């Protein structure tokens, strides 16, 4: 069985390491992180077997590398791995929320290695770091894989197998569809939730906490996510996010104008079909 | 100990009945509902002790009446109770999400009875009906009470005591502040979530369910709420909802323009303060 190196041992990297430990897919799991205290903590928690202090040495010893670093650093890391592994067999995959910008960067500088499998788990939490790592984080969640023309099938099959071993449902799609759809289902909701909390934070006639119920807490939970990470995600997928925003914005305006002008039947029709759509979203996950 | 009549034995009315049963605040709890099958079910489930088929007879026998009916029906029901009770001592309270429009209607037609205590629990669920009733629905939730110049203190104290017995934190405020603040913390989020699901429901390059994670499910959960009820709430609190919408809209535009024009430091600053505000919202409920 192969040896895994996890680069970036926070919530996602740590959860994958725990899931692989539970599934028994690897003989040995090492971790490397730009912040040495994070790998130290992951080791203390038993998330990884050992700390790879030196990135290059860690890569040299690994059969598989999970890249769980900020998106702007992914392409550079793939290049360093390529330089290190040469013709040795290796399987490398990432968990980045945006695919197009990373693949464009790789193509501009040396190409997309056949062993690099872009992947993206639709899982996460406003919690961060190895302390929040959870072997079941990916269970029954979607993981999107975007194979490239350069990809070799064996690498792809291994990565799909590991995600399935972690309990995930794997969906294969194109880079473009991935980036458009996550702009819709993840990036735009984060933008809206952040903007909403920013407005709640302004001066109001009462104290928002006194009027907060469980619905508000659900609606705004994603605004508790890391600001630096979301700056990067929104910037890397800017065109798709803005396109979704513009479309949604028109749809919101229509609804608001129904309310403003007292067109209550039209308003209720939109609410009813939105509710039905929400019901279909819940079909697979029972929530 | 007094006898309670719950008019509207769905989720909220039923949950209050169960909470009062647990707390032992009433000797007898009757239920009346415009839909006889709902009271029948509530009785089968043991949510209420007995069905009051006749509204007037139920009112005549009650010391306390909880009004848990759609907002447009509250003022008329208060009027019918006033006609029935005469000078007998009674305490009546509602759970409506909007206060101003109901109180205006009462003042236009006979005045606000001193025994009527407007109240509003910040609790609920996309689930409906007596089957979803839960004795702990109000535990650690806010209940807003808006005493009026006409209100007598003894009625107010009784209602506050019952909500506290149900485990709630009671907050007293004015009608205006209530309506403005719930427009912010509840009505606008529902409008946004409905509009968002309406947009998700349109044609896209992929299947939204394939790209849906727990963040999206949290964000859109409130769009699973009843369309007819939300038509009424939004219409009854229209001015306050539109005012909050207009303010928020400007705040969203600023954030989007930061992204559009690549002002990423400004973008990140907004995200970071929104995240801090979300943290403060969670302070009291640990989520």
B11-61 tens-digit pLDDT: 999 999 999 999 999 999 999 999 999 999 999 999 999 999 999 999 999
- With contacts defined as CB-CB under 8 Å, which chain B residues touch A245? 256
Residues A164 and A40 in one domain: yes
Side-chain half-sphere of A231: how many Cα atoms within 13 Å? 18
pLDDT tens, residue by residue, A110-147: 999 999 999 999 998 778 899 999 999 999 999 999 99
Whether A84 is in a domain gets the answer yes
Percent pLDDT > 90 in chain A is 94
**ipTM of the complex in this document:** 0.94
Residues A218 and A166 in one domain: no
What's the pLDDT at A127? 81
Q: What is the pTM of this model?
A: 0.94
Buried b (16+ CB within 10 A) or exposed e, A92-115: bbbbbbbbbbbbebbeeeeebbeb
CB contact under 8 A, A224 and B282: yes
* CATH classification at residue A39: 3.40.50.720
Domain termination site, one of B143, B173, B203? B173
pLDDT tens, residue by residue, B160-177: 999 999 999 999 999 999
- With contacts defined as CB-CB under 8 Å, which chain A residues touch B238? 259-260, 262
Residues B10 and B110 in one domain: yes
Residue in A200, A218, A247 closest to B184 by CB: A200
What's the pLDDT at A33? 96
Domain termination site, one of A173, A196, A216? A173
Residues A94 and A127 in one domain: yes
Residues B232 and B144 in one domain: no
| Per-residue pLDDT at B287 exceeds 90 | no
The minimum CA-CA distance between B130 and chain A, rounded to whole Å, is 19
Percent pLDDT > 90 in chain B is 94
Residues A48 and A101 in one domain: yes
Q: What residues have CB less than 8 Å from B47, skipping those under 6 apart? A: B9, B14, B17, B18, B31, B130, B133
Whether B168 is in a domain gets the answer yes
Residues A8 and A64 in one domain: yes
- With contacts defined as CB-CB under 8 Å, which chain A residues touch B205? 176-177, 180-181
Residues A158 and A229 in one domain: no
pLDDT tens, residue by residue, A10-22: 999 999 999 999 9
What's the pLDDT at A283? 56
A10, A42, A47, A2: which is closest to A26 by C-alpha?
A: A2
Residues A31 and A147 in one domain: yes
The minimum CA-CA distance between A50 and chain B, rounded to whole Å, is 31
CB contact under 8 A, B226 and A275: yes
| Per-residue pLDDT at A248 exceeds 70 | yes
Residues A53 and A9 in one domain: yes
pLDDT tens, residue by residue, A61-110: 999 999 999 999 999 999 999 999 988 899 999 999 999 999 999 999 99
Nearest CA in chain A to B223: A275
What's the pLDDT at B283? 56
What's the pLDDT at B126? 72
Residues A137 and A189 in one domain: no
CB contact under 8 A, A198 and B262: no
Residues A182 and A45 in one domain: no
CB contact under 8 A, B222 and A222: no
Whether A287 is in a domain gets the answer no
Buried b (16+ CB within 10 A) or exposed e, B266-278: bbbebbbebbebb
Q: Domain span at residue B249?
A: 178-282
Count of pairs with CB atoms under 8 A, one residue in A, one in B:
334
Whether A197 is in a domain gets the answer yes
| Per-residue pLDDT at B204 exceeds 50 | yes
Domain termination site, one of B133, B148, B173? B173
Nearest CA in chain B to A140: B213
The minimum CA-CA distance between B62 and chain A, rounded to whole Å, is 30
**Beta strands B64-67 and B91-94, pairing class:** parallel
């Amino acid at each position: 069985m192969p040896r895994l190196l996890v680069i970036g041992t926070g919530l996602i990297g740590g959860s994958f390491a725990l899931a692989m430990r539970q599934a028994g897919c690897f003989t040995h799991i090492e971790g490397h992180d730009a912040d040495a205290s994070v790998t130290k903590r992951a080791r203390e928690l038993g998330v990884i077997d050992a700390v790879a202090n030196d990135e290059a040495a860690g890569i040299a010893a690994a059969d598989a590398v999970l890249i769980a670093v900020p998106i702007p650093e992914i392409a550079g890391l793939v290049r360093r791995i390529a330089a290190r592994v040469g013709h040795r067999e290796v399987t490398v995959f990432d968990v980045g929320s945006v695919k197009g910008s990373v693949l464009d960067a790789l193509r501009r500088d040396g190409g997309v290695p056949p062993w690099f499998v872009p992947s993206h788990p639709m899982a996460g939490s406003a919690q961060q770091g190895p302390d929040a790592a959870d072997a079941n984080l990916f269970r029954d969640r979607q993981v999107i894989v975007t194979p490239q023309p350069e990809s070799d099938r064996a690498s792809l099959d291994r990565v799909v197998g590991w995600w399935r071993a972690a309990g995930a449902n794997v969906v294969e799609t194109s880079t473009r569809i991935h980036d458009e759809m996550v702009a819709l289902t993840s990036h735009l909701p984060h933008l809206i939730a952040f903007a909403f909390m920013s407005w709640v934070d302004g001066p109001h006639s009462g104290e928002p906490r006194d009027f907060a119920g469980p619905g508000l807490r659900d609606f705004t939970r994603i605004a508790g996510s890391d600001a630096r990470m979301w700056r990067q995600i929104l910037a890397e997928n800017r065109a798709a996010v803005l396109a979704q925003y513009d479309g949604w914005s028109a749809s919101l305006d229509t609804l608001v104008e129904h309310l403003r002008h007292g067109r209550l039947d039209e308003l209720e029709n939109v609410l009813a079909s939105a509710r039905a759509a929400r019901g279909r979203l819940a079909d697979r996950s029972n929530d």
